[in-house]
A and B are shown apart, each in its own frame.
Chain A
Amino acid sequence: MSEVTFRDAIKLGMADALAADPSVFLLGEDIAEAGGTFKLTEGLMDEFGVERVRDTPISEQAIIGAAIGASIRGLRPVAELMFADFAAVCFDQIANQLAKYRYMTGGQVTVPATVRLVNGAGGGFGAQHSQSVENWFLNVPGLKIAVPGSPADAYALIRAAVRDDDPVLFFEHKALYNVKGALEPGDEPIELGSAAIVRQGTDVTLVATQLMRVRAEEAAATLEGEGISVEIVDPRTLVPLDIATITGSVERTNRLVVAQECSHDGSWGASIVSRVIAESFDLLDGPPVVVSADATPIPYAGPLEHAWIPDAGRIANAVRTSVGAA
C-alpha cells in the first residue's frame, strides 16, 4: 500500500486510462505545456504527446462541444474545466447537448465523454472560482455525477468515468489536492453508483462528500470521545445514487445527518433527506438534520470564507442535535 495525494491519484488515473485505451485523450486550458493550473496533468503531454493531451483556447463551449463530437465517433475524451464555476459558460453544451444527445436520437449514439470540474471553497479564490456546482446538474437527466472523497475513490472513479458509455461529470475538490490517502496498486474501477461506509458506527448516519467527508471524519473522532458513535456514508456518486446503502445505514442507526458544501435549497443533501423520509420514514427516530453552507455567494476574506464553509464543529453539533445530546 502506498500513500498518494488526490492530485497524484487523479493524474495516475488519467495516465492509466491513456495507456490502456488509445481512444482516450485529454483537452482543456493549459493542461498540456503548462501541466494544468493545479498541475493535474503535469508530465502527461511529454508521455502521451500533443494529440492526446491538448491545450485549447479559453473557450469552454468549444471544449465541451469538441468532446461531445469526438466521443460520438468512439473516442473517450476527458475535458477539464479549470474551475467548476466555468460550467456556467458552457451550461448549454453540458445540460442540452451532452446530457440529451443519446436520448434525443433514440439511442443512435452514445456520448462517452468525461468532464473534470475543479470544485470547492477554502482557498480564497472568491465567489466565481470557489463554488461546488454539482447541484446545478442534479436536475439534468442524462448526466452521471462523481464526487470522490478519497484518493483511492478518485482514482477508481476517474477510471470508471472514462470507461462509462454515458457522460460523467467528475468533480474534484481543490482543497483536497494535497491530502494523502492509501492507494493500492492495481485498484480496480468501482462501479458508478456504489456508496462507501467509510466509518462504522451505531448512533447516527452522517452522509458527506469531498471536503465535508474529511470534516465529518474529524467530527466523528471528537464525538467518539463523547460516547456518540457515528457511521459515515460517502455516496461517491450523486447520479447514480446508492440510496440503498444510505437507508441500510439508517436502518441500523435510526438517525440521519447530511453535511454539504453548498446552500440548502435545491441541493443533493435535501434530496437525500426527502427520499429517506418518503421511502423509509419508519426507520427514523427523529428529524434528519442537514448541515449546509450559507445561502450567499462565497466571500473572499479568510474569516468570512471560513465561516461560510461548514466546519467539523458545526457538523458535530448537528450530530449532537440529532441524537438529542445538544
Chain B
Amino acid sequence: MNAVSVPSDRVDVDEALGLLRGMIEIRLFEEEIQRLFNRNLVRGSTHLCTGQEAVAVGACAPLRTTDAMLCTYRGHGAVLAMGAPLDRTFAEILGKAEGLCAGKGGSMHLTDVEVGAYGSFAIVGAHLPIAAGFGLAARYAGTDDVSLCFFGDGSTNIGAFHEAMNLAAIWKLPTIFVCENNLYGEYSPVARTTPLEDLSRRADGYAMPGVRVDGNDVRAVRATVADAVDRARAGDGPTFVEALTYRHKGHSRTDPGTYRPQEEVDAWLARDPIPAFERVLIEEGVPAERVEAAREAATTAVAEHLDRALAWPDPLPAARFDHVYV
C-alpha cells in the first residue's frame, strides 16, 4: 500500500476532535440515562459522571484494548472511553439481553472485555488489588500490557487501596492508579474524611511517583497518564495520578447535592471540561465548523444507539442460571 504522509498538526487536530467527541458522547449518554431513569426504565441506582468526562477520556486515550481498565460504579464514562459500543452500554443499563453483560450487571458493573474494559466495581476500592493482579499477569506473561484503575477520593481511606498500592510498588507492577478527586466522598467533603488535601502525597508512603493534574483538562490528563503508561510499559512500575475534578450532579439519583456551596458549584460549572476544550480548540485555530461537527456526530450517534437499545428484547428469565455453577 502507499504510505500517506499526514502532517503532524493535522493528526493532533483529529485526535483532539476525537477526545472532544468522546467527552460529548459521555455527557449526552449520561443525560439520556437521567431521562431514562426518570421514566422508570433504569432500575436501582445510577451514579453519573457528568463533569468528570475529561478524566475518563484523557486517561483511557493512552490505553490499548489489550490493556486492562477497571473502574468504579461511577464508570459509564470510562467504559465508553475505552470504546464500548453506545447501544450495548445503553442496553445493559436498560437491562436488555443484548447488554454488555447480558443484563446481569447493570449500571454499576458495566464490562466490555473486547475493548479492555474489565469491569466496573461497586465496592469502594475493591478493584484496586484486582488491577494489581492484571499487572502481575502481564509481567508473568512477559507482555508490556498495563492495567489502569479509576477510583474516587473516598477510596484512598479504605484498606484495599493501601494493600494494592503496596503490592504494586514492591512488585513494580505495570499498574496506573487514577484517583478521580471530585472533592466529595458520597456526601462528605474530602477535608472532613481525609487528613491530606493533596492526595497525590498518598503515593509517598509506597515510594511511588504521585502526580496531581487538572482533571478538567483532557489533554493534561492524557499527557500525564501517557507518561505513567510509558513508565509501566518500560518496567518502571506503578504511578499514582490524582485528577482534580468535580461531579456536576449529586452522588446518586436520589441526591440533589445540596450540601455543596452554590459558589463552589458555580465555579466548577464555569470550568466545565467540554466547553473549555471547545474554546481552547477554536483559540488554537481549529475551524468552528469542525468543533460543531464533532458535537453533531456525537448527538446523532447517541440518539441512534439509544433508539436501537430501546427496541431490543428483555432477557428470558431462564437466563439467570447462565454464567454460574448452579
Residues of A within 8 A of B (CB): 25, 51, 56-57, 59, 61-62, 64-75, 92-93, 96-97, 101-109, 141-142, 144, 166, 239-240
A-B contact pairs, 30 of them (CB 8 A): A51-B140, A59-B129, A59-B166, A65-B128, A65-B132, A65-B160, A65-B163, A65-B164, A66-B129, A68-B133, A69-B132, A69-B133, A69-B135, A70-B134, A70-B137, A72-B130, A74-B137, A97-B123, A97-B127, A104-B101, A104-B109, A105-B104, A105-B111, A106-B111, A107-B323, A108-B111, A109-B111, A142-B325, A166-B325, A240-B325
Q: Is B16 an interface residue (CB 8 A)?
A: no
* Chain B positions within 8 Å of A67 at CB level: 133
* Chain B positions within 8 Å of A64 at CB level: 129
Task: Tell me the bound Cα distance from A103 to B326 in angstroms.
Answer: 11
Q: Is B241 an interface residue (CB 8 A)?
A: no
Task: Tell me the bound Cα distance from A144 to B104 in angstroms.
Answer: 20
* Chain A positions within 8 Å of B164 at CB level: 61-62, 65
Say yes or no: A93-B126 contact (C-beta < 8 A), given A57-B167, A62-B167, A65-B164: yes
Task: Tell me the bound Cα distance from A105 to B128 in angstroms.
Answer: 18
**Is B123 in contact with A92, judged by CB distance below 8 angstroms?**
yes
Task: Tell me the bound Cα distance from A72 to B99 in angstroms.
Answer: 21
Say yes or no: A65-B133 contact (C-beta < 8 A), given A57-B166, A102-B324: yes
* Chain B positions within 8 Å of A107 at CB level: 102, 322-323
Task: Tell me the bound Cα distance from A175 to B172 in angstroms.
Answer: 38
Task: Tell me the bound Cα distance from A61 to B132 in angstroms.
Answer: 11
**Is A106 in contact with B102, judged by CB distance below 8 angstroms?**
yes
**Is B163 in contact with A62, judged by CB distance below 8 angstroms?**
yes
* Chain A positions within 8 Å of B101 at CB level: 104-106, 108
* Chain B positions within 8 Å of A25 at CB level: 140
Q: Is B185 an interface residue (CB 8 A)?
A: no
* Chain B positions within 8 Å of A68 at CB level: 129-130, 133
Task: Tell me the bound Cα distance from A64 to B163 in angstroms.
Answer: 11
Say yes or no: A109-B324 contact (C-beta < 8 A), given A67-B133, A97-B130, A103-B104: no
Task: Tell me the bound Cα distance from A306 to B121 in angstroms.
Answer: 44
Residues of B within 8 A of A (CB): 68, 99-105, 109, 111-113, 118-119, 121, 123, 126-138, 140-141, 147, 159-160, 163-164, 166-167, 170, 322-326
**Is B324 in contact with A69, judged by CB distance below 8 angstroms?**
no
Contact of A96 among B102, B126, B131, B324 (CB under 8 A): B126
Residue on B nearest A58 in the bound complex, by CB: B163
Residue on B nearest A107 in the bound complex, by CB: B323
* Chain B positions within 8 Å of A239 at CB level: 325
**Is B105 in contact with A61, judged by CB distance below 8 angstroms?**
no
- A-B contacts counted at CB < 8 A amount to 137
**Is B136 in contact with A70, judged by CB distance below 8 angstroms?**
yes
* Chain B positions within 8 Å of A142 at CB level: 324-325
Say yes or no: A141-B324 contact (C-beta < 8 A), given A57-B167, A69-B147: yes
**Is B129 in contact with A69, judged by CB distance below 8 angstroms?**
yes
Residue on A nearest B145 in the bound complex, by CB: A73
* Chain A positions within 8 Å of B113 at CB level: 105, 108-109
Say yes or no: A101-B167 contact (C-beta < 8 A), given A25-B140, A65-B129, A69-B135: no
Task: Tell me the bound Cα distance from A64 to B131 in angstroms.
Answer: 11
* Chain A positions within 8 Å of B99 at CB level: 106
* Chain A positions within 8 Å of B134 at CB level: 69-70, 72-73
Task: Tell me the bound Cα distance from A57 to B134 in angstroms.
Answer: 18
6 smallest CB-CB distances across A and B, nearest first, come from A69-B133, A65-B129, A106-B102, A73-B137, A106-B101, A107-B323
Contact of B141 among A62, A69, A73 (CB under 8 A): A73
**Is B118 in contact with A109, judged by CB distance below 8 angstroms?**
yes
* Chain B positions within 8 Å of A141 at CB level: 324, 326
Shortest C-beta distance, A141 to chain B (Å), equals 6
* Chain A positions within 8 Å of B159 at CB level: 61
Residue on A nearest B132 in the bound complex, by CB: A66
* Chain B positions within 8 Å of A51 at CB level: 140
* Chain B positions within 8 Å of A70 at CB level: 133-134, 136-137, 140
* Chain A positions within 8 Å of B160 at CB level: 61-62, 65, 92-93
**Is B132 in contact with A62, judged by CB distance below 8 angstroms?**
yes
B101, B103, B147, B326: most-surrounded residue (chain A CB, <10 A): B101
Task: Tell me the bound Cα distance from A166 to B130 in angstroms.
Answer: 16
B141, B163, B322: most-surrounded residue (chain A CB, <10 A): B163
Shortest C-beta distance, B45 to chain A (Å), equals 16
Residue on B nearest A143 in the bound complex, by CB: B325
If A69-B131, A104-B105 are given as contacts, then 6 extra A-B residue pairs at C-beta distance below 8 Å, sorted by A number, are A65-B129, A66-B129, A66-B132, A69-B134, A73-B133, A106-B99
* Chain A positions within 8 Å of B140 at CB level: 25, 51, 70, 75
Residue on B nearest A69 in the bound complex, by CB: B133
* Chain A positions within 8 Å of B137 at CB level: 69-70, 72-75
Contact of B170 among A57, A75, A102, A108 (CB under 8 A): A57
**Is A106 in contact with B130, judged by CB distance below 8 angstroms?**
no
* Chain B positions within 8 Å of A56 at CB level: 167
* Chain A positions within 8 Å of B121 at CB level: 97
Shortest C-beta distance, B63 to chain A (Å), equals 15
Residue on B nearest A67 in the bound complex, by CB: B133
